[in-house]
Amino acid sequence: MNLFSNTLIFHSEVEAQLVAEQVYNCRLEGNILSCPIKEQRAVDLAISLSDVALPIVEGASCLLPFPKHERECQDDDAPQVYVACLSAYNNGKLHGMWIDCTQDADEIQDDIEWMLSWSPCHNYEACEEWAIHDFQNWYGIHIDEYESIEELAELAQILSEHGAAYAAYYEYDSSEASVEGFQEHYWGEYESEEDFVYDQLEQQGLIKNLEDMGIPSFYLNFEAIARDWFIDSYYSVEESYNKVYVFSRH
């Protein structure tokens, strides 16, 4: 079986044909219907509308198709992980689902256990082990295959609130990263380090004082000042050509 398709065995060719007529991108051979995983919800709906007997999923020991759409993450922007059943994987079967990590840790654990309960290997061996086989929407942060559920939940919730700025802070020193540390050290988003220097001097009134004395601000060497400040007091993380996140060192 192609790992990227579901193969359903119907009780008759007629039943398979009824379902196949309602779904695109499927291959019908007698009473066997093969369809891409992305079409699973459409197939489930077609089975329901056709009023046919539930088919057997090839390689599975239960009649019902894995209804992962009931719990699978539907938010395209949420930090999420694809968690796979290792018993199924080690037996040459692809079984898992995308899980929304902005949930509490116990809700993530519940989703994982629910996914394992539908494993095609569940009836003849224990399906307790799992691993993260893919991840998305983590702002460039790498997620380990065996990342702890608590860490996933905490990191996802922080990223949902602070986005790329926190990811930049986390990547700079993940061993020391914390919400409290981020809130204490984050100064903001700027076009450049020189832009940050100008903003700070302006807020302190120094730019206005110079202009009141007839000294234009362009006489100041913002590049040299920034170089001095960013040696000991601050550091920046470049997000793009004209965007940096600035943090204090102490």
The CATH number of domain 68-161, selected from 1.10.3720.10, 3.10.20.480, 3.40.109.10, 3.40.50.300: 3.10.20.480
- pLDDT at residue 45 above 50? yes
The per-residue pLDDT for range 225-234, each reduced to its tens digit, is: 999 999 999 9
Q: Where are the domains of the chain?
A: 5-57, 68-161, 167-248
The C-alpha angle 114, 115, 120, rounded to 5 degrees, equals 120
**What pLDDT sits at residue 62?**
46
3-state secondary structure of 120: coil
- Which of 35-39, 112-116, 181-185 shows the lowest per-residue confidence on average (mean pLDDT)? 35-39
pLDDT band at 96 (very low <50, low <70, confident <90, very high): very high
**Euclidean distance between CA atoms 49 and 46, whole angstroms:** 5
Residues 6+ apart with CB under 8 A from 141: 155, 159, 167, 170, 171
Question: pLDDT tens digits for 114-127?
Answer: 999 888 887 778 88
* Residue 64 pLDDT level (bands cut at 50, 70, 90): low
- Say how many residues make up the chain: 250
- Which tokens hold the place of 227? 């170089």
Among candidates 121, 74, 125, 113, which has minimal Cα distance to 94?
121
